[in-house]
């Protein structure tokens, strides 16, 4: 019996043992092989022979079910590091694509055998590796960011190094820091080489048994020390697999939309009619704005200006007058990607003494969002005031989508609100969506002292799959974020407009100023006030040196025209857009916008994946947050951005986000091919995005 038939690659799912920190693979069973499945899950697979070819690999192993022959294709490898730094190749996972009792009939001519080390060697290497990175402080551990999951490693009282999923971190242990897989492997290479030298092992290519067992276990590890490569294999047994239960969204969606337009309008008549007025007004104005003018074939953009840039002090005084309020103050700590943000958020929530107030467009029902939900429930049940304000439509629609990386055994709750509120003290309110408008703000405040804001929702893709940005804030600006939350929370309550009016009459409570920091200001999009749009348009008009923008959605023609005019003045305009987005056809809309910018001399960089970052720097003035460069974010939905002219804040954003993303994103040098349907998509995008 030969079972070398190809099998479709499955998404990564987390194992439950320590070895999950170091890779993964898939297992499919041949007909008649199912009886061996349970035995494979109850004991370790011990490799006794490993053979490597240029295109395939082969492993003979002993198991509780007997001796078997397995292997797979290198072409099926999956890169486990979202943003590799180039210092270490991999880590990769490869699927074990078949299992058969007979030896392979034919091996490739280029095949070589590599030495197989027993489990004891792996255990010793693993212990040394963790000790090399473990903090010295008592009751402290590290988060290891392992592509699709976070694990907490800590030193047990008896000296052992223990690893558990982050959600199972033992009580009393704090997070001392986090480490990516690439950083761990890179720093661990000398540890591995020193151990092998001590043992007299001279081979540079080795296969190791890990001793890992069970569903999604990681039984084998391949190391090539010359290429600095780590490749792992995972056991993924088909029996007992639970697919994600399909959530039927129709009833929830229709019910929420009906409440938004019936009950919602009854309790929020003024705000609902105001939204309708501004939606209709803006819809009528879209075709009157027109798109960017066609560029002559022989157009040559002017040379770049050497101007000194905006007078930022004068600019801040202008903003005081333009917005009708002075800047607040505080400190900004940039958190790039979910790898930096979510451990910081989780740590802050665990340390909260009195209140956790979260406002988010999406709170998904995937495995990662569910773990955040469980933490909120635990904190609420311990006496912390936990409030979660959801955009109703955004959350409902998101729960109908399945991420490719979702573990197949996850059982999603059918209702996020019921999951958070059920048998817990968490308070949840859903923002209504009259006329299909939404609350796109993403903020969390902890005890009124720490604030988080930016582009990330509570969902798996923001933690593991997408490039995104949040900031941690301290100081008086946190009080302003808290006040905005309080207003939105009251308005989403049963009294609606009346409750909001009474709340405003009572005034805001006195708040402790906290650390003063440096000037920062919050900017808003509200139905009656396109402040984020107007302020950024003015910044584009005033910029004389450079404009850097990174945004996933470029459908606002008016801002696009302003960027083109800035380039005509000699401003160095550079834009980063992702090669893919979560809106499908909108990618083509981005392609058209990129072509227009390219034709007008704007440098366009294509991020190799999904970048959800919404940030810009105009001559040293930074503006970032939840607002896209599209019509709804700029003029209709509720949005919140943060802005500052503080030079170190601008320099850090430039270095950590823009310069790194310019370096990793290929520059567009020739226009994207255009289809007749793209222009229809572009017109539709102006109205619905």
Q: Which domains does the chain have, with CATH numbers?
A: 18-120+199-234 (no CATH), 242-289+329-516 (3.30.870.10), 290-326+519-689 (3.30.870.10)
Let me know the angle formed at the C-alpha of 473 by 431 and 347, rounded to the nearest 5 degrees: 85
Query: Given this model, what pLDDT does residue 259 score?
Result: 58
C-alpha 516/C-alpha 518 separation (Å) is 6
Query: Given this model, what pLDDT does residue 630 score?
Result: 84
- Residue 282 pLDDT grade (very low, low, confident, very high; cuts 50, 70, 90): low
- Maximum average pLDDT range among 142-146, 162-166, 515-519: 515-519
Q: Is 514 helix (H, G, I), strand (E, B) or coil?
A: coil
Task: Name residue 231's beta-bridge partners.
Answer: 92, 222
Let me know the angle formed at the C-alpha of 523 by 522 and 529, rounded to the nearest 5 degrees: 145
pLDDT for 218 beyond 50: yes
Query: Given this model, what pLDDT does residue 287 score?
Result: 47
pLDDT for 244 beyond 50: no
| Model pTM score | 0.68
Say how far residue 51 (Cα) sits from the centre of its chain. Answer: 38
Q: What is the largest CA-CA distance in the chain?
A: 83
Query: Given this model, what pLDDT does residue 83 score?
Result: 40
Nearest CA among 342, 420, 341, 336 for reference residue 374:
420
State the average pLDDT over residues 408-437: 83
Query: Given this model, what pLDDT does residue 1 score?
Result: 30
Nearest CA among 356, 339, 336 for reference residue 348:
356
pLDDT for 245 beyond 90: no
State the average pLDDT over residues 2-29: 30
Burial class (CB in 10 A: 0-12, 13-18, 19+), 489: buried
State the average pLDDT over residues 235-255: 45
pLDDT for 444 beyond 90: yes
For the segment 466-506, what is each residue's pLDDT rounded down to a tens digit? 999 999 999 999 999 999 999 889 888 767 667 656 766 77
Q: 122-126, 329-333, 554-558, 658-662 — which is least confidently predicted?
A: 554-558
Q: How many residues in the chain?
A: 689
For the segment 63-119, what is each residue's pLDDT rounded down to a tens digit? 888 899 999 888 877 665 544 444 446 667 787 888 889 999 999 999 999 999 999
pLDDT for 41 beyond 80: no
C-alpha 544/C-alpha 618 separation (Å) is 9
Query: Given this model, what pLDDT does residue 255 score?
Result: 58
Report the phi/psi class of residue 86: left, alpha or beta, with left for phi > 0 and alpha for psi in -120 to 50: left
Task: Give the count of beta carbons closer than 10 Å to the beta carbon of residue 104.
Answer: 17
Please indicate whether residue 94 or residue 321 has the higher confidence score (pLDDT). 321
pLDDT for 541 beyond 50: yes
For the segment 329-341, what is each residue's pLDDT rounded down to a tens digit? 999 999 999 999 9
What lies within 8 Å, CB to CB, of 655 at 6+ separation is none
State the average pLDDT over residues 446-463: 95
pLDDT for 648 beyond 80: yes
Structure tokens at 335: 């958190």
Please indicate whether residue 561 or residue 159 has the higher confidence score (pLDDT). 561
Is-contact 552 612, C-beta < 8 A?
Answer: yes
- Residue 211 pLDDT grade (very low, low, confident, very high; cuts 50, 70, 90): confident
pLDDT for 684 beyond 50: no
Report the phi/psi class of residue 628: left, alpha or beta, with left for phi > 0 and alpha for psi in -120 to 50: beta
Average pLDDT, whole number, for the chain?
Answer: 79
The secondary structure of residue 687, as a DSSP letter, is H
For the segment 121-135, what is each residue's pLDDT rounded down to a tens digit? 988 888 888 777 777
For the segment 299-315, what is each residue's pLDDT rounded down to a tens digit? 889 999 999 999 999 99
Query: Given this model, what pLDDT does residue 203 score?
Result: 95
Q: 69-83, 165-179, 201-215, 649-663 — which is least confidently predicted?
A: 69-83
- Residue 17 pLDDT grade (very low, low, confident, very high; cuts 50, 70, 90): very low
- Residue 23 pLDDT grade (very low, low, confident, very high; cuts 50, 70, 90): very low
State the average pLDDT over residues 455-462: 94
C-alpha 88/C-alpha 228 separation (Å) is 5
Is beta strand 355-360 parallel, antiparallel or unpaired with respect to 385-391? parallel
pLDDT for 518 beyond 90: yes
C-alpha 657/C-alpha 53 separation (Å) is 40
Is-contact 197 210, C-beta < 8 A?
Answer: no
- Residue 376 pLDDT grade (very low, low, confident, very high; cuts 50, 70, 90): very high
pLDDT for 637 beyond 90: no
Query: Given this model, what pLDDT does residue 273 score?
Result: 58
Let me know the angle formed at the C-alpha of 229 by 223 and 235, rounded to the nearest 5 degrees: 60
What would the 3-class secondary structure string for 111-160 be?
A: CEEEEEECHHHHHHHHHHHHHHHCCCCCCEEEEEEECCEEEEEEECCCCC
Q: 492-496, 606-610, 628-632 — which is least confidently predicted?
A: 492-496
């Amino acid at each position: 019996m030969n079972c070398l038939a190809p099998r479709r690659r499955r998404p990564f799912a987390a194992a439950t043992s320590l070895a999950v920190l170091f890779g993964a693979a898939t297992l499919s069973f041949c007909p008649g092989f199912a009886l061996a499945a349970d035995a494979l899950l109850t004991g370790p697979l011990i490799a006794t022979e490993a053979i490597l070819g240029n295109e395939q690999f082969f492993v003979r192993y002993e198991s509780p079910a007997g001796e078997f022959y397995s292997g797979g294709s290198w072409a099926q490898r999956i890169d486990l590091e979202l943003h590799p730094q180039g210092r270490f190749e991999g880590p990769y996972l490869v699927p074990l694509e078949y299992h058969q009792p007979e030896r392979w009939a034919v091996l490739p001519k280029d095949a070589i055998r590599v030495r197989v080390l027993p489990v004891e060697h792996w255990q010793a290497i693993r212990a040394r590796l963790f000790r090399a990175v473990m903090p010295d402080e008592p009751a402290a551990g590290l988060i290891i960011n392992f592509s699709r999951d976070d694990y907490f490693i800590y030193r047990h009282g008896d000296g052992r190094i223990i690893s558990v999923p982050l959600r199972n971190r033992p009580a009393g242990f704090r997070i001392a820091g986090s480490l990516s897989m690439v950083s761990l492997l890179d720093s661990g290479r000398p540890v591995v080489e020193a151990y092998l030298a001590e043992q007299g092992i001279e081979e540079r290519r080795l296969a190791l048994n890990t001793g890992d067992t069970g569903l999604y276990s990681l039984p084998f590890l391949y190391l090539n020390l010359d290429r600095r490569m780590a490749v792992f294999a995972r056991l993924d047994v088909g029996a007992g697999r639970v697919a994600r239960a399909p959530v039927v969204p129709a009833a929830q969606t229709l019910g929420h939309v009906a409440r938004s337009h019936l009950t919602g309008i009854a309790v929020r008549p003024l705000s609902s009619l105001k939204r309708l007025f501004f939606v209709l007004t803006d819809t009528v104005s879209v075709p009157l704005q027109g798109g960017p003018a066609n560029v002559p074939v022989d157009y040559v953009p002017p040379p770049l200006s050497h101007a000194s840039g905006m007078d930022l002090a004068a600019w801040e005084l202008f903003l005081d007058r333009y917005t009708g309020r002075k800047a607040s103050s505080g400190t900004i700590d940039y958190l790039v990607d979910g790898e930096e943000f979510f451990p910081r958020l989780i740590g802050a929530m665990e340390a909260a003494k009195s209140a956790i107030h979260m406002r988010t467009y999406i709170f998904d029902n995937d495995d990662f969002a569910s773990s955040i939900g469980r933490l909120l429930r635990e904190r609420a049940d311990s006496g912390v005031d936990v409030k979660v304000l959801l955009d109703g439509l955004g959350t409902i629609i998101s729960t109908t989508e399945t991420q490719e990386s979702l573990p197949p055994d996850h059982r999603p709750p059918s209702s996020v609100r019921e999951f958070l509120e059920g048998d817990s003290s968490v308070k949840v309110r859903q923002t209504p969506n009259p006329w299909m408008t939404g609350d796109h703000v993403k903020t969390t405040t902890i005890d009124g002292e720490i604030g988080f804001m930016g582009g990330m929702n509570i969902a798996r893709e923001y933690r593991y799959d997408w490039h995104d940005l949040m900031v941690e804030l301290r100081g008086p600006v946190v009080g302003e974020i808290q006040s905005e939350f309080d207003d939105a929370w009251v308005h989403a309550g049963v009294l609606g407009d009346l409750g909001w009016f009474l709340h405003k009459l009572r005034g805001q409570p006195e708040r402790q100023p906290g650390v003063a920091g440096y000037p920062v200001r919050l900017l808003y999009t509200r139905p009656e006030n396109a402040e984020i749009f107007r302020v950024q348009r003015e910044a584009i008009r005033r910029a004389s040196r450079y404009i850097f923008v990174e945004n996933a959605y470029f459908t606002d023609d008016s801002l696009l025209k302003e960027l083109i005019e800035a380039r005509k003045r000699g401003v160095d305009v550079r834009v980063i857009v992702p090669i893919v987005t979560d809106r499908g056809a909108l990618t083509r809309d981005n392609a058209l916008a990129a072509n227009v910018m390219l034709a007008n001399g704007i440098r366009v960089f294509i991020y190799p994946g999904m970048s959800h970052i919404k940030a810009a720097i105009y001559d040293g003035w930074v503006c970032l947050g939840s607002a896209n460069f599209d019509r709804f974010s700029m003029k209709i939905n509720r949005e919140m951005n943060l802005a500052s002219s503080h030079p170190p804040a601008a320099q850090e954003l430039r270095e950590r986000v823009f310069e790194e993303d310019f370096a990793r994103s290929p520059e567009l040098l020739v226009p994207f091919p255009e289809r007749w349907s793209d222009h229809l998509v572009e017109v539709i995008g102006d109205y619905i995005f």
